[in-house]
Structures are given as C-alpha cells and as structure tokens.
Structure 1
C-alpha cells in the first residue's frame, strides 16, 4: 500500500510539473512580446490575405501619400506608445483605429483608410502596447489597452479641440479593446460611437476556444495557471475584463461586425456581446468571411453598415 501511495504521489507530481511546464510554454508563446509571432497568428486565423494584396498595395500607396506624422503618448504605467496620425482636412472628425493581436497600427486599416479618408475623416493608428514601435513586454489583450485607448482619445481632444467628434474602430484584439473602453467612467463625450470587428469576449474565453479547437487540449489547468502567471507578470487576470460584461455599461452606440466563417474567434462571441449591449447596437454578419476578412469579403455591405451607423451619430 505504501509503495502504491508513493507511486501515485510521484505520478501526480510528474503530471503537475508537466502541466505547469505546458502552461508556462503556452503563456510565453501567447503573452510575451518576444515570443508572440504574427506569422503564427495569421496561420491560426486561416485567412488568405494573398488574394487581397493588389488592392491593399494600391490603397497603401494612396494612404501614405496623405500628410501624416509619428506621435507618442505615455501610459499610466510608464510605457511610451506610438501612433501614426493622419490629420484629415479640418480636424472635426477623427477615427481611432485599434489593430489585432501581433499586428500594428499601419497594417490592419490600409483597406478601410480609403473609406474614412475619402469621407473627410482624420485617422489615428496606434500601435498597442508590446506591438510595433510601442514599448511593453506583456500584451494587454484589451484589458490594459482600454486605458491606453483612453489616453489616445484625450490626445485627440487636446490636438483637435473639444469640438472634435471621435469614432473608435477596432478589429480582433482591437475590437475587444474598444468594447472594453465603452464602459469607462472617464470616457469623454467626444466619443460618438464604436465599431467592433471580430472581437473576442475575453482572453480566457478565446484561449480556451483555441486550445479546444486547434490544439485539442483541455483548458484546465493550463488557463488557470496562465491566469496566475499573468496577474503576477502583467498585472491583470485573463477574465478580469470581458467585453460581454463591459457593454452592459456602455455609454455610446455600437456596431458589431463578424465573419460567419471565423474559426479563430467564433461568431458566438459576437452574439454574446450583442445580447449584452445596454446601448443601441447593430450587428452585421458577413457570410463566408474568415477572421478579420469581413471588409474585403463584402465591401459593399460593410461600408453600407458604416454609412448607416455613422450617419446617425456624427454630424
């Protein structure tokens, strides 16, 4: 009996060590800037971007021909963040665009720049903390980035004046960021609306989905261990901020967009967010669109939804 108990204890110890090692590996690959790779994210998302490259390159050339500059702000926890600022014709209408996981400001909104710039909007394209030219070691997954977003909102108001009308537009992690920003008590009145494309609800829920659907692994105890590590290293829990909970306290109208064929962030997360919105909200599901592909898959439907939504909130 003693031998059996000793063997069982040894086996349990080995399993515990193995789980902790797996969780630490998963955490490093996912949460640390140095190990989170764009190529891996694109592969997991499964979107074929090559088919859109001619259009993207054409719009990028037009976009970069417009006046723009690099700008910076410092976060409440002392990081220096970078953004690219396109002032627009009169500084009265600005859209702040928040990119997805492992991307950067000047990557995700090349296509949509054509829509916003030709309608007279200025654009501010921040690099999220631990991305692009912004400082940071640990990725914020919206939970920390919502406060950085507030900083950029205040930067725009100071730059353009109190009369400025601001839209927030985010995709994937950026979509989660703008939804999590929607409930902040300090949200200025200049923010008129939020557009969220393919947002997840929380880091915990999207990681659980990825572990189940792509790696065929159980989430327990890997997520719980990663949660403890992240609280210690990055200062927030993986379900501390959840977009579906935050929109219950939202202060401005919301447009939710999602791809019907998104396997990376499932459409069910969009449904959950929509059901919890405490403000007027609109939902657009683009049939056949993979992750972050909705604009390119059906540009007409996407821009029509933007026209309708923005037309009711921005003068």
Structure 2
C-alpha cells in the first residue's frame, strides 16, 4: 500500500472516528429520550439533597392550587403543553421556561408560590421535546424562542390586551428567554428574568467537551452542527443570546451562581455586557447550576420584586387611572 496509502487510511479512520464521536454526542444531547435528566444533574454537579424537602413541600402546595392544562400548536406543528395557574382579577402574568432535560413544574414549583403571592397568573411551559410537549429534537432556545412568542400570544389573548407579561427562564429556559427578547414582542411584555442562561448551544457544548470530557471541540462541534441543521432544523450556532440581547427592548434581570461549573458564570457577564436595554445583574456567591434561588432566596426574590416594581403597574393604580380618564370622558 505504501506510505501514502497508509496515511490516507489513517486519515480516513480518524475522520470516521471523529464522525462517530460527533454522532454519539449529538444523539446524547439533542435527541429526546437519549438526553437524560439524571445525567444532566450529575454533570451539573449541584447538591440538591438539602433542598429536596422544601421542593417537595412546594410541589404539594402548588398541586392544591387551581390549574389547567393548556395546549398550543407550534409553527412546525408540534403540540406544546403548559400548565396555567389563574389569579382571578389580576392582569399580570409570568411565563416560565425550564432547564435542559427538565420540565416546567419541576423547575418552577418553588418560585411559583412567590409569583402567585405577588398576584401573577402563572403559565409554566414544557418546552418542545420535554415533559408533555411533543418533539424529537431539543431546541436549546433557538427553536423554543419561536414557541415562546406563541405562548405570549396565548396569554395576551386569554387575559386581554391590557395585561402585563413577564418572562422567567432557568438554564436552557434562561437562554430561551434571552433569545426571545431579540424578537419583535408585543407591548404587553414588560420584563424578563434569566437565571443561569447560556449564550448558545455551540458555546456551552464546547465548554462541556473541554471541561468534562477533556476533548477538543474541533471538529466534533462542526460535525454535530451539520447534523443538527440536517436533522433538527437549526444550527447549534444559529442563535446566540449574546447577540439577541443587543436587540432587547425590555428590562432584563440576569441571575447566576458564581460556582456554576455547567454553564460558567463568565457567560452571564458576557450577556449582561452585551445587553442594550435596562438591565440588572445578581450573582449569588457559592451557588452552583440552577441553585441560586435556593442558595439565597431572599436576595433572589428581592431582585425580582424590584424588577416587578419598576416594570409592572399595580392593578389598583391601573384601574384608578382608567376610571379617572373615563370620568373626564377620555
């Protein structure tokens, strides 16, 4: 065969190996059923043991509240599921987006109580390919931002044109929210909260390959990106939240834990720095991935409360203003 033939053979074997690794990586991370919650939790490294009793109590409390299963259809024909918790007489609502391999009621059972007690209608979404929503491929915010816009339209139609809407996302849901802020949104959307959101699927996957698998991203990411474009309908680098927040027109509260080893805290500084709208940053000391709310509940709720105070009008004030205008014939 000779030296040249041997070199070609080794190159072909190497390319086949890289393709195989990329295929394995793509299917483990993007395809529903192969992406496991237990593996994600292990990789994230957050110690949830101390919080489990409180989370269970919150889930039990929430299960006793009036709620309704809601379904909408995505632009590409998927049946998407959400759980709606009404707050009668209120025109304020928050739409919540969960993290990778999780589901709405799992990630938002605790903070749901905070929002309900603040007088918010609550829409807790199962993102595509998660929970009771259809879908084969996980969207990593790129596809989910289009679904988010449909959920916004649903809430406005349900509560009326005078409603006030907030968005709140955790991890992949945080990225979804940030990517959504770059879209043209209706005026009813007043503010957003992103908790440990990442910049893009490409960048967080590259970080995971280097930090956890000790593998160079090139050429695995390039091959996986082609697979995503061909099979899932989007590129892993197609949408970057760092670019989308440059177009944001609503205030954004960025939250992250400085001990996050899954979505590095450096990403929140990139996102905060790129944001062109009103913005606040809360970094929770010692909080691992998605742990910020539990690590320092008071600081977290205070920051969200202040955001609400700056962006959401109290129901009574709005009604009083409308009544006085009506009396003047306006």
Tell whether the 8 Å contact from 1:97 to 1:168 is kept in structure 2 after alignment: yes
The reply on whether 1:116 has 2:151 as its aligned counterpart is no
The reply on whether 1:289 has 2:283 as its aligned counterpart is no
d(CA) in 1 for partners of 2:306 and 2:33?
Answer: 41
d(CA) in 1 for partners of 2:219 and 2:45?
Answer: 27
Superposed, which structure 2 residues align to 1:17-56 within 5 Å?
17-56=16-55
d(CA) in 1 for partners of 2:297 and 2:70?
Answer: 30
The RMSD of aligned alpha carbons is 0.7
d(CA) in 2 for partners of 1:42 and 1:57?
Answer: 17
Tell whether the 8 Å contact from 2:90 to 2:119 is kept in structure 1 after alignment: no
Matched with 2:197 is 199
Shift of 1:193: 0.2
Bigger-Rg structure (1/2):
2
Matched with 2:248 is 250
- Of 256, 273, 276, the residue aligned with 1:275 is 273
Tell whether the 8 Å contact from 2:190 to 2:311 is kept in structure 1 after alignment: yes
Please, which moves more after superposition, 112-121 or 282-291? 112-121
Superposed, which structure 2 residues align to 1:204-215 within 5 Å?
204-215=202-213
d(CA) in 2 for partners of 1:45 and 1:288?
Answer: 14
- Of 213, 223, 226, the residue aligned with 2:224 is 226
Tell whether the 8 Å contact from 1:89 to 1:121 is kept in structure 2 after alignment: no
| TM-score, reference length from structure 1 | 0.98
Shift of 1:89: 2.6
Aligned pair count reads: 313
Tell whether the 8 Å contact from 1:104 to 1:126 is kept in structure 2 after alignment: yes
Shift of 1:28: 0.3
List per-residue Cα deviations over 1:61-94 (Å, max 9, x = no partner).
Answer: 1111110010000001000000000011324111
Partner SS for 2:282: strand
Moved over 2 A (4+): none
d(CA) in 2 for partners of 1:268 and 1:260?
Answer: 9
Matched with 1:150 is 149
Matched with 1:159 is 158
Please, which moves more after superposition, 122-131 or 88-97? 88-97
| TM-score, reference length from structure 2 | 0.94
Partner SS for 1:168: strand
Matched with 1:240 is 238
The reply on whether 1:101 has 2:89 as its aligned counterpart is no
Structure 1 gaps, min length 5:
none
Matched with 2:135 is 136
Structure 2 gaps, min length 5:
314-330
